[in-house]
Amino acid sequence: MQIESVLAAIESDTDCSIIEVIEGLDTMLVFVNNIIDYPQTPCFRRIRISNVNFQERLGHLKHGMDLLKAVGFVQDADPHVFALPDSVDEEDERNSIANIRKARLSIISFRKELYARFMHIQHLPADHVWSSVRGAGAFGRQGRRPHMEDEHLLIDSFTGDPSTGLFCCYDGHGGRAAVDFCVRSLHINLEHSLLRNGDDMTIEQHLQSAFHITDAQIRRRSILDSGSTAVVCMIRNERKDRVLYCSNAGDTRAVLTKADGVRRLSYDHKPGLDSEIERIRLAGGFVSDNRVNGVLAVSRALGDHHLKPSVSADPYISRTVLEDNDEFCIIACDGVWDVLTDHEAGTFVRRFLANDDSPMSEKPTLAAQALANLAFGQRSQDNITVIVIVF
């Protein structure tokens, strides 16, 4: 197959997500760059396709092997190796390298197009009319920190289902590298799992898989010192029930407000908890000054690979069947919860929603902004991000 045909086949294939395809193209570019730069070096002309790293990055793609063939690699006598045949003379070598250079340009162009798609965050317009919930909105502010490291994403009609909504809040640390990747990738990994595996997995398994896949992708991008907490909530129909799933790693929190009180949906993963101390110890780490290995103040997060496996990406997951007296959900980073209790936040938002005359398309965003401003006024020292979901 010609390189253009292979790239077209990769683009139309639904077995792998856009993130996996970009990873595969990056790996392929490493191979072709090595051949172009060092054409006579034997080790760059042979690829062991049984290698775990090769399979993880390129070999598992449906058309991954076709990419190798398109630039001239062929099956070696060793069935675990693909090799670039030796040239018969200098002209043959020049033609081979010229073809590889041409293929590289095509791969770079295709990769650039995919990456631009991946980097674009499709935020909903302010006047969006929701189908999965009555209304939802978010607000974030830098607060008293020198840099903003929070992110959020709200998706209506998730997986193409008008009754399903997805709500994500991320609190980064150690720079923006991890949080910038999470806000662009975790929902893609979750959607890909739901559409490809469907009922073969429970929703809890889909959520857990999305967390672990995203964490592994962060590692493969060599983001080692940056991390992010996460809350991912999904609302969907299950037979006659409206069900709210909440998954989280770290201390970003989700709270369900009912007519008769509030209920926490997430679990604050703090290093000082007995259960987390034991888990960290069994993973080979320790807790000092309520920090993992004396460094990090949360015990679970995406990223932070310099502290793995002591810092775990395994999420806490809750399932709640929504009832008539369930009013709204607040998702917020610790910039809110450091200065307000669950009850205080719930009471404040309930009063705001009751007294504000704005249309439902605007009211949750205004409530989120008001709660963020209240936390700032209470001397919160952190970035502040709030999501309000009205059922």
The domain containing residue 73 runs over which residues?
Answer: 3-119
Q: Mean pLDDT in the chain?
A: 97
Mean pLDDT in residue range 93-119: 96
Cα end-to-end span (Å), the chain: 52
Q: Is the domain of 139 the same as that of 115?
A: no
Mean pLDDT of 68-77: 94
State whether residue 215 is helix, strand or coil: helix
- DSSP states of 228-294: EEEEEEEEEEETTEEEEEEEEESS-EEEEEETTEEEE-S----TTSHHHHHHHHHTT--EETTEETT
- Residue 23 CB-density burial (10 A; 0-12 exposed, 13-18 middle, 19+ buried): buried
**130 found inside a domain:** no
- CATH, residue 314: 3.60.40.10
pLDDT value of position 293: 98
pLDDT at 355: 95
Predicted confidence band at 14 (pLDDT cuts at 50, 70, 90)?
confident
Final residue of a domain: which of 84, 119, 154? 119
Sheet with 384-390: list strands edge to edge: 135-141, 384-390, 326-332, 253-258, 261-264
- What pLDDT, on the 0 to 100 scale, is given for residue 39? 92
Flag whether 190 is in a domain.
Answer: yes
Our count of domains for the chain comes to: 2
Same domain membership, residue 219 and residue 73:
no
Mean pLDDT of 283-308: 98
Q: How far apart are CA 88 and CA 113, in angstroms?
A: 37
Closest by CA to 183, choosing from 265, 236, 118, is: 118
pLDDT tens string 239-279: 999 999 999 999 999 999 998 899 999 999 999 999 999 99
Q: Is residue 158 part of a domain?
A: yes
Whether residue 52 is found in the same domain as residue 200: no
Examine the fold and report which residue of 71, 87, 119 is the final residue of a domain before the chain moves on.
119
Q: Is residue 127 part of a domain?
A: no
Same domain for 26 and 172: no
Averaged over 32-46, what is the pLDDT? 94
**CB-based contact 29:108 (threshold 8 Å):** yes
Which pLDDT value is given to residue 88? 83
Does the residue 336 lie in any domain? yes
- Whether residue 122 contacts residue 191, with contact meaning beta carbons closer than 8 Å, is answered with no
Residues 31 and 115 both lie in one domain? yes
Same domain, 111 and 157: no
The answer to whether residue 65 is domain-embedded is yes
Q: Where do the DSSP E strands lie in the chain?
A: 46-48, 74-75, 81-83, 135-141, 150-156, 165-173, 227-238, 241-249, 253-258, 261-264, 287-288, 291-292, 302-303, 316-321, 326-332, 384-390
- Is 124 a member of any domain? no
CA 66 to chain centre: 28
Cis peptide before 146 (omega within 30 of 0): no
Domain match, 77 and 223 both: no
pLDDT of residue 390: 98
Provide the pLDDT for residue 215.
Answer: 99
Structure tokens at 13: 């294939």
- Please name the helix (run of DSSP H) or strand (run of DSSP E) that holds residue 376, with its range, or none: helix 363-377
Summarize the confidence of residues 114-141 as an average pLDDT: 96
Residue among 286, 289, 287, 316 at smallest CA distance from 300: 316
Mean pLDDT of 293-319: 98
CATH of the domain at 51: 1.20.58.2190
Q: Are 167 and 301 within one domain?
A: yes
Q: Which residues pair with 263 in a beta bridge?
A: 256
Do 33 and 167 sit in the same domain of this protein?
A: no
Residue 119: pLDDT band with limits 50, 70, 90: very high
103 and 174 within one domain: no
Per-residue pLDDT of 50-63, as tens digits, reads: 999 999 999 999 99
Supply the angle between the helices 342-355 and 363-377 in degrees, to the nearest 10: 130
The verdict on 342 and 287 lying in the same domain is yes
What is the C-alpha to C-alpha distance for residues 256 and 321, in angstroms, rounded to an integer? Answer: 11
In this prediction, residue 282 has a pLDDT band, given cuts at 50, 70 and 90, of: very high
Q: Is residue 17 part of a domain?
A: yes
pTM of structure:
0.94
pLDDT score at 298: 98
| The pLDDT of residue 1 | 73
Average pLDDT over residues 345-362: 96
Q: Is the pLDDT of residue 160 over 80?
A: yes
Is there a single domain that holds both residue 286 and residue 172?
yes
Domain ends where: 119, 143, 176?
A: 119
Confidence of residue 344 (pLDDT cuts 50, 70, 90): very high
Do residues 219 and 286 touch, judged by C-beta distance below 8 A? Answer: no
Amino acid at 365: T
